[in-house]
Amino acid sequence: MLDDIPRITNPRTCEYCGRLNIGANRCPHAINPKLDCPNNKQANKALADRLRRLGR
């Protein structure tokens, strides 16, 4: 009966905020490393810079 329950054997942790890729308060960077962490200040500044240059 317990064999049918899926198990997560290796939860990943975000290196910027320390949140896991499972649970209600999960981090998108821990789920997929291609996505930016909302708490990564450098990535947020780089994104704002790219978007500002697109508007010119």
54 vs 43: CA distance, rounded Å: 17
Name beta bridge partners: 29. Answer: none
Whole-number Cα distances in Å, 3 to 7, 22, 26 = 9, 20, 26
What confidence tens digit (pLDDT) does each residue in 1-56 have? 556 767 767 889 999 999 999 888 999 999 999 998 989 889 889 989 999 999 86
The answer to whether the predicted template modeling score (pTM) of the entire model surpasses 0.75 is no
Name beta bridge partners: 13. Answer: 20
DSSP assigned state of 3: G
Please give the pLDDT value at position 23.
Answer: 86
Please give the pLDDT value at position 1.
Answer: 52
- For residue 16, the one-letter residue type is Y
